[in-house]
């Protein structure tokens, strides 16, 4: 999906633009002023299913994992998997999830961002 935004002005909004990670965003000549957040990028329900996660997975837990992995680029997969296993996401999932089965998909997903 392509979202094209040209010559727009976002002012005084809670969130200027909200879009899924799968969207290709093309913005030009656009300004943001006094918004709570200029852009909110979230992981869509279909991406969550593809990753083997429940559709009600809290976005803040997934965002935490994304930020951790982005900070660990170039680290061995074992280090990244350990970080995911120690995250709020896996505490929330509990014993219902296998770290090895879900973590590799999340690592690949973050590398594609």
* Range(s) of the domain holding residue 20: 1-42
Residue 111: its pLDDT value, please? 81
- Sequence-ordered strand ranges (E) for the chain: 2-6, 9-11, 15-20, 24-28, 31-33, 37-42
63/96 same-domain check: yes
Same domain as 36, residue 6: yes
Domain count, the chain: 2
Alpha carbon distance, N-terminus to C-terminus of the chain: 15
Instruction: Report the DSSP beta bridge partners of residue 42.
Output: 20
- The residues near 89 (Cβ < 8 Å, ≥ 6 apart) are 57, 58, 61, 62, 64, 65
Do residues 64 and 48 both lie within one domain? Answer: yes
21 and 61 inside one domain: no
Please state the pTM of the whole predicted model: 0.69
34-92 pLDDT tens trace: 999 999 988 888 888 888 888 899 999 998 999 999 999 889 988 998 998 899 998 89
């Amino acid at each position: 999906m392509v979202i094209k935004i040209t010559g727009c002005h976002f002012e005084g909004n809670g969130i200027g633009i909200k879009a899924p990670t799968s969207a290709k965003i093309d913005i030009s000549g656009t300004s943001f002023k006094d918004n709570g957040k200029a852009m909110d990028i979230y992981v869509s329900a279909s991406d969550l299913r593809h990753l083997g996660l429940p559709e009600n997975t809290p976005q803040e837990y997934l965002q935490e994992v994304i930020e951790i992995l982005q900070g660990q680029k170039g680290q061995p997969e074992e280090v990244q998997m350990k970080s995911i296993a120690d995250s709020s996401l896996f505490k929330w999932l509990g014993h219902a999830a296998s770290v090895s089965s879900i973590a590799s998909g999340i690592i690949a997903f973050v590398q594609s961002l």
